[in-house]
Amino acid sequence: MPVRFYNTKTRNKDILQPQTEGHIKLYVCGITAYDYCHIGHARSALAFDMIVRYLRYRGFEVTYIRNFTDIDDKIINRAQETGATSEELAERFIAAFHEDMERLDVKSPTLEPKATEHVDEIIAMIQTLINKGFAYQAEGDVYYMVDKFENYGQLSGRNLEDMQAGARITVNEEKRNPMDFALWKSSKPGEPTWDSPWGPGRPGWHIECSAMSRRYLGDSFDIHGGGKDLIFPHHENEIAQSEAATGQSFADAWIHHGFVTIKDEKMSKSLGNFLTIREVLEDYEPEVLRLFVFSTHYRNPLDYSSAAMQDATAGLDRLYTCLAEIEGHTGTGSDDAKSVASQKDVDTIGLLPERFQKAMDNDFNTAQALGHIFESVKVLNKITQALPTEPASKDLLLLKQGAETITELADIIGVLKKDPISYINEKKQQLLKDANLSSDAIEQMISERTEARNQKNWARSDEIRDELLAKGIDLKDGPEGTTWKVK
């Protein structure tokens, strides 16, 4: 079965067929480094991280380029506000981005090129566009002539007439067509500047991606990705620039992910309804954020709320609890004992990799893939639960294999990286700290309660249990004594 994914260009789920057998060339638009990243940026990074992990799992070699926009109006403005240089500001937020990515366990792309390090390539490409008659100079700026490019608007499904009728276009006397966009902008005093044949200035936004993707992936490559908001104008403009300059077809396929919303509105800087990655990670485990992100298909909107994050937390706990229970069974079991697993159980576990792959092959359907994992967890829990004191070695083996498979597949989603028992313990310690309780104090209360229970003093026993429960401590009476966990 081939991998299929939705291609914005064809509006169809196409079969993945790289230009070079077994090798995928992927370019993704990264961030503009002028502020801390919010969870919308996190979703973008996570979505492509998952896609790359999966494609590698499927045996492809992936060259993954994700750029940084480190020169831009927003950076210049923010730098001036804070008294830093644009370069310093960009460096600072690139470093912050890397910290965030590391905490989210997002694997590094093959390369992370920066616009400012590719000005030569950018200038060369602009010159080519001028020479070929696709661009013109005006007062130290250079603009791209959209009506010279035959297929302009094809990716986003628009045409120039409609867009101009829509009319929210800034008036600019220098442009021949209001839809023309800047390839090169002359610099004002105090702004970062590079020499060019058209005078001192800096690159426009769109051209950097055309120049950098060409430098590292060639004129034509397999997949170009980014957020849905980049389809127009950014990606439309990239196509126009690159195809006009090279005469080759640009990216074969385009992958665009959906937005993170809050109360069903797009999270964005301008609306002010955003949460930074670091803010969210103060309250939740990185893996909780991952599970939350991948519980919905990557092209759909993802609505952030504390309720949704608590759901994800409960889900992650369920996964780790299952693995920890299995890890707790250390023996090898008996060959004579009767198996408690049914053939159906064995099949469910055995077919997991196949079903997981089928879901992922279908446009990286992580929500469905996770569903299959949870189904297996249910089966494993059932078996763990039914295990007698002297379990069958066959069953223990099935449990171990099931846990191993789940851990391996979950790695594509980027969860279940921790040791399950440590995860449970760490979580316990953290919650204890929050509840301002020590293990010793709890143990002491438990022994007092055990004594009360031995005397069948249920009133006192329940009193202690309720007291702890009020502080979020659940007691669990088992055959080997009382254990506790934080709720």
Tell me which residues in 41-70 interact with RNA (CB under 7 A): 41, 43-44, 69
Tokens of 98: 């890397």
Decide: is 365 part of the binding site for RNA (CB under 7 A): yes
Q: Which residues contact 323 (CB under 8 A, 6 or more apart)?
A: 403, 406, 407, 416, 420
Q: Which is nearer to RNA, 129 or 209 (CB)?
A: 209
* Least CB distance to RNA at residue 336 (A): 24
Rounded to a whole number of angstroms, the minimum distance from the CB of residue 139 to RNA is 19
The region of 55-63, 127-135, 141-149, 220-228 touching RNA under the rule CB under 7 A is: 220-228
Task: Work out how close the CB of 372 gets to RNA at its nearest, in angstroms, rounded to a whole number.
Answer: 7
Pairing mode, if any, of strands 201-203 and 251-257?
Answer: unpaired
Residue 308: both structure tokens together? 């949704």
Residue from 168, 190, 335, 336 binding RNA (CB under 7 A): 168
Q: Which residues between 113 and 152 bind RNA (CB under 7 A)?
A: none
Q: Which stretch binds RNA (CB under 7 A): 133-141, 164-172, 211-219, 416-424?
A: 164-172
- Can you read off the two tokens belonging to residue 63? 């060259």
Residues 295-334 that bind RNA (CB under 7 A): 295-297, 300-303, 307-308, 310-311, 314-315, 318, 321-322
410 binds RNA (CB under 7 A): no
* Assigned token pair, 456: 């069948």
Please tell me the distance from the alpha carbon of residue 391 to that of residue 304, in angstroms, as a whole number: 44
State which residue, 69 or 335, has the beta carbon closest to RNA.
Answer: 69
Q: Rank residues 121 and 363 by Cβ distance to RNA and give the closer one.
A: 363
**32, 116, 196, 357: residue in contact with RNA (rule CB under 7 A):** 32
* Dist CA 445 CA 455 (whole Å): 15
Strands across the sheet containing 260-262: 265-266, 260-262, 302-304
Rule CB under 7 A: is residue 230 a binding residue for RNA?
yes
31 binds RNA (CB under 7 A): yes
CB of residue 131 to RNA, shortest distance in Å? 25
* Closer CB to RNA, 194 or 232, in the complex: 232
Q: Map the footprint of RNA across residues 433-462, applying CB under 7 A.
A: 453, 458, 461-462
Within 253-292, which residues bind RNA (CB under 7 A)? 257-261, 264-270, 274
Residue 189: C-alpha distances to residues 76, 138, 143, 326, 391 (Å)? 12, 18, 21, 66, 78
From candidates 36, 57, 216, 232, binder to RNA by CB under 7 A? 232
CA torsion 73-180-29-207 (nearest 10°) is -80
Q: Before 200, cis peptide (omega within 30)?
A: no
* Distance (Å) of CA 152 to CA 63, 233, 321: 28, 10, 53
* C-alpha–C-alpha distance, residues 289 and 415, integer Å: 10
Rounded least distance, CB 22 to RNA, Å = 26
Contact mark string toward RNA, 69..88, x via CB under 7 A: x----x--------------
Distance from CA of residue 195 to its chain's centroid? 38
Closest CB 103 distance from RNA, rounded Å: 18
Contact 270, 186 (CB under 8 A): no
- Residue among 314 and 397 whose Cβ is closer to RNA: 314
Contact residue for RNA among 80, 110, 193, 362 (CB under 7 A) = 362
Q: What is the DSSP letter of 457?
A: -
Answer whether 367's CB lies under 8 Å from 380's CB.
no
